[in-house]
Amino acid sequence: MLSYPTVRTSLIFLAIALVGLLFADIAITANNPWRDLGNFFLGVLTPNFFSSEGLLTALLRTVAFAFVGVTVGGVCGFFLALVYRFLPVRVFCAFIRAIHELFWALIFLQFFGFHPLTGVLAIAIPYSGIFAKVYSEILEEADPEPGRLLPPGTGTIAAFLYTRIPDCWVQLRTYTAYRLECGLRSSAILGFVGLPTLGFYLETSFSQGMYSDAGAMLILFYVLIATIPLWVRPKLLPVYIVGAPFFLGDGLPIVWGNVERFFTEDIVPSPLRDGEGLAGLLPWLNELMIEQALPGIWNTVVLTQIALVATGILTLLAFPLISNHFGGPIRRTSGHIFLVIARSTPEYILAYILLQLWGPSMLPAVVALALHNGGIIGHLIGRQTNTIRLRSDAPKGFNRYSWELVPRIYRSFLAFLFYRWEIIMRETAILGILGIYTLGFYVDSAIQSIRFDQAMVLILITAMLNIGVDILGRYIRRKLALQTMPTC
């Protein structure tokens, strides 16, 4: 078995994660974690929908920010996709999508403050980068044949619209719809840093142990996501897109002088600002690297590798829940519900909940990342097994799982996993804001002490790390000849 490169790669990653576990801070520090967890589930079962006057407004704002952000991101991303073959564009897109929405929000909060633009840009910018990449991949796969049949002299735009777009329209639409769902999640968590979306109230009720209120918000959020096919209709889309900007709320007015100040003073490294020149810059950078960046990078990498393997294990355990090859309709339905909940809950919220319940360590983060990402990949793999037809005398039970299904889906399983590697790392960094010592912790600390110069350097380092993992992930996928459709 070791002669298979996929198996060898898997074992290497498993070994790295096990070594990482030796160094990782894994613990349950809460005295009574199960009582708290029990209280939480009790809260979900006894939701209080009338807790906060602002709840419905928050839900509306969550939807509005998602629509405006995804629309702006989609349009910009589409145009970037048309010029994606140029290296500078690719580098630019890789860079903007390597920075998480929450980091963008933290940056814009410093000069736009609580203006709706902060939330819109925090979603639109990274999404532009993601859309550009995926749209260009989709467009590239379009069949070139129709274009060759056009009479000479056909305009480029007409040719594009009539030959390329129709061929990949369905894929573009499916992916955009998926991104809208992601946009709702992103929009919700922006509340954690103070924007008027669902996360704002969720954080309030959770931190005060008001689990029934929090339960109501989570339930509303799941309903919102689960009913997307019902309320997001092609005919209604223009109404939503035109209407959404009106429901972002007023926020506070922008003072443009702050924008200039941020770029010309705040983010200039303090030795340069104080006129110490380059001689002061090196010790400053050195100290920043040793005291913050390196411990942050180490913890981010360790946590990412453990979470990646945990995601993989959970996926392999979870996909049979919705697979036609096992169990009856009751188990499949509950499996579907479990996976929908796991993947609809933003990992940031999952990690926040588990941190409150179990106390601070890497464990809540690993579980949150594994649940969310395992939910997504498990769903995709489970669906894929439903297209597999087994012989009527195929083995049953565990043998069917281990000798028939897993080998058949293993390559696409790995492909999805490596595809999400970068996403897991992006999330890992951001979870630092919750108090786990990854890069986000140091970024948050720098912002809390009003040192935006340090925060920017740390955010840049985080972005570089993500780009590095993205490149490595693509290299491994190419080496192992793994293919993914950009649907995940």
Partner 1 sequence: MTHNLIRKLLIIGLCSLFSAAATAQTFIFTAIPDEDETKLVERFRGIADYLSEELDADVKYIPVKSYAAAVSAFRNNQVQLAWFGGLSGVQARSLVPGSQAIAQGTEDQAFYVYFIAHESTGLDRQDSLPEDVRGKTFTFGSKGSTSGRLIPEYHIRETFGEAPEDVFSRVGYSGNHTRTLRLVESGTYEVGAMNFAVWEKELENGNIDTDAVKVIWKTPGFPNYQWSIRGDVDENYGEGFTGRVREALLSLDDPELLESFPRSDFIPASNDDYEPIRKVAKEIGIID
For binding to partner 1 (CB under 8 A), which residues are involved?
29-32, 36, 109-111, 113-117, 120, 192-194, 200, 203-204, 207-209, 238, 242-243, 245-246, 248, 250-255, 258, 270, 359-360, 435, 444-445, 447-451
The minimum distance between CB 368 and partner 1, in angstroms, equals 18
Which residue has tokens 């037809």?
389
Rank residues 193 and 353 by Cβ distance to partner 1 and give the closer one.
193
- Cα separation of 132 and 94, whole Å? 9
Six-digit token string for 23: 């160094």
The minimum distance between CB 484 and partner 1, in angstroms, equals 36
Rank residues 204 and 324 by Cβ distance to partner 1 and give the closer one.
204
The minimum distance between CB 292 and partner 1, in angstroms, equals 13
The minimum distance between CB 365 and partner 1, in angstroms, equals 14
The minimum distance between CB 299 and partner 1, in angstroms, equals 13
Rank residues 254 and 480 by Cβ distance to partner 1 and give the closer one.
254
Report the 10 Å Cβ neighbour count for 293: 21
The minimum distance between CB 7 and partner 1, in angstroms, equals 38
The minimum distance between CB 280 and partner 1, in angstroms, equals 12
Rank residues 146 and 251 by Cβ distance to partner 1 and give the closer one.
251
Rank residues 182 and 259 by Cβ distance to partner 1 and give the closer one.
259
Rank residues 146 and 359 by Cβ distance to partner 1 and give the closer one.
359
Report the 10 Å Cβ neighbour count for 282: 10
The minimum distance between CB 31 and partner 1, in angstroms, equals 3
Rank residues 422 and 453 by Cβ distance to partner 1 and give the closer one.
453
Rank residues 142 and 188 by Cβ distance to partner 1 and give the closer one.
188
